[in-house]
Structure 1
């Protein structure tokens, strides 16, 4: 198992659940055992959540796995299933699960005071600089960046969010929903600007601001980049998974169950580009719910057993400026959307997305009861043999955006 995060942990759990009794070796570049990442931008930044509370393993869990942490994988011999580590050691196996995840996208020049948020270490470094009265500029208006903006505002910072129409929140859910979420933050005193592009971080030394494509400069005491993520697949270069030096930036290509073109090797999580049967395209997904659920499908494929029930609709839960934002379903793009309760100005809307006449997704802001009702309905539709499109869509590896990494 190459990757000791959420997906690696879920894959090990799935292997045992499917009856595998052999050895499991888990390799991880971080020194931490698997932990929950979404709280990093919320309670962990304020100190309300401890690192022990982030742990995914319960005290009574026993996966009987050999955890080898703090050293990255640097090469794979796909034919022999041999993984080479950064310290020069090798690990041989009968099968390999690629679960290395992704890394936060960075800019070409990164002065001090510029942060990304992907790991515990990232969160600890950012937390030290969230000082009352300081000015935080968040570049990108994805879910994670907006959560950090809200947390920073609660801690007494001035906050400016600089977004683009290509950010995940906008491209995934549409301008109406994005505007409603932005409104939540603006009512909390956060400045939100959209439809612009940051071209430069002003340095050198400590960051003093950002420069826009228009030439405008905006001052900052610290900056958080929320501009997407790139799959951690560079270590696979030259392997049989990269024939002829094919570009792996889009992730490890796999079928609808995570199997690669090499026997005994599967890829899962947001380093993998699974085939979507509904569209015939490969895409990466990064919903937290899918990273927990899809490993069961991939491990079943690896073991040659029945995966059981189809995957439920993807879900996303986020705290935005004191409001609860929830999503369930799957979006390919081009769906119609109607607001069926609440409204944009009141910040409590319920949006339902349809493909043709069929509902395929729901998003609610402070509408937990209605979202749960719709989630149950979407699940029923996905399991209905009379609704082929909804069934294939939910069972397949689609995601609400082409690269949903910014959704957290």
Structure 2
């Protein structure tokens, strides 16, 4: 069921997915009202810089706003009013303020919430602002997690002058399971070159505020019995879909993650209800063909959803793409890395921080990753670009 030209679109969530869905709906010709409901007090903002430029203090929140003041989105924004319930008959949502909003279509884009072991996290601008205000110069910092967010944060803490930075990745090398041994060794080497230490495969079990070291504020207890004294602890151990408010709704949620299940246009199977972003699990994501929780994936979803919502033909989803900036190195990856059964080094070296790696499945290349290899990754993405089908006249 597509949205009528003058129909009212309700978007639940004022983050990346919600904003880009609204932008795409307008760009694809929808003339009806759009209402965007957000729990945060801020205008929609970009999150990737929170662990980098914003944490460093070289950029501020106003620089992260998604909307262009010279071309503002034609939509009604409702901030600081979290949605608490979804109604399918009539179609609409209830908010914490007691307001009920009717819509002709609803897009659920509530994102995800940080999993927090202890200490600081970096999911919202408030999280990043609290860490930015922390006295990091000379401090002992422990970062729990081994993904790109954890490694970006570790790199930024060294830039901020931390006395020491220890990463508790929970695996022998950071990114080993997801990216393969050559890339994991290269990431390990890159961070060690900048003084970052790793604890190996030991996992963080908890954080105590009664440490045996009287000079430390906290101690992170590891699964091998060690304790890591720290003045600042940062949790970067992933995020969970923000869907608790949907637990009693008619929507199908993934049993493991509680993400909203949808087809590959974002349609949930409930008439008029769609979903995108970190709170959603599209069909291709369930099978491992697409990544979850990456910026470009969310933007591409918004474009496909908007077309389907308006009754058009969605543009084909391109190869997955992700990037990360750590120290002086930009890491870019494209393709179905998670499905690879072989990893080959094409060029560069681990020590030189210029690795170029191919990911293969059954001998066929399905992905690529480069460290400061912009040209090669761009060329690979262009060669794999899927063009919309041209209908015969």
Same structural fold, with TM-score higher than 0.5 when normalized by the shorter chain: yes
Q: Equivalents in 1 of 2:289, 2:383: separation in Å?
A: 27
Task: Specify the SS of the correspondent of 1:224.
Answer: strand
Find the counterpart in structure 2 of residue 406 from structure 1: none
Q: Equivalents in 2 of 1:41, 1:335: separation in Å?
A: 31
8 Å contact from structure 1 (residues 315, 329) kept in 2: yes
Q: Equivalents in 2 of 1:137, 1:365: separation in Å?
A: 25
Match of 2:221 among 202, 208, 211: 211
Q: Equivalents in 1 of 2:168, 2:75: separation in Å?
A: 44
**1:251-330 superposed matches below 5 A:** 251-276=259-284, 285-308=292-315, 310-330=316-336
Find the counterpart in structure 1 of residue 122 from structure 2: 117
Match of 1:35 among 45, 52, 76: 45
Find the counterpart in structure 2 of residue 232 from structure 1: 242
Alpha-carbon distance change, 94 to 168 in structure 1, aligned in 2, over 3 angstroms:
farther
1:183 deviates by 0.8
Q: Equivalents in 2 of 1:292, 1:132: separation in Å?
A: 36
Alpha-carbon distance change, 207 to 29 in structure 1, aligned in 2, over 3 angstroms:
farther
Find the counterpart in structure 1 of residue 114 from structure 2: 104
8 Å contact from structure 1 (residues 138, 161) kept in 2: yes
1:82 deviates by 1.8
Q: Equivalents in 1 of 2:167, 2:115: separation in Å?
A: 17
Alpha-carbon distance change, 168 to 194 in structure 1, aligned in 2, over 3 angstroms:
closer
RMSD after superposition: 2.3
Find the counterpart in structure 2 of residue 399 from structure 1: none
Gaps of 5+ in 2: 1-10
Match of 1:199 among 175, 194, 205: 205
1:260 deviates by 0.3
Give the TM-score normalised by the residue count of structure 1: 0.86
Find the counterpart in structure 1 of residue 6 from structure 2: none
Gaps of 5+ in 1: 386-408
1:141 deviates by 1.2
Q: Deviations over 1:10-54 (max 9, x none)?
A: 000111122111010000011111111111111111211121111
8 Å contact from structure 2 (residues 359, 365) kept in 1: yes
1:204 deviates by 5.9
Give the TM-score normalised by the residue count of structure 2: 0.90
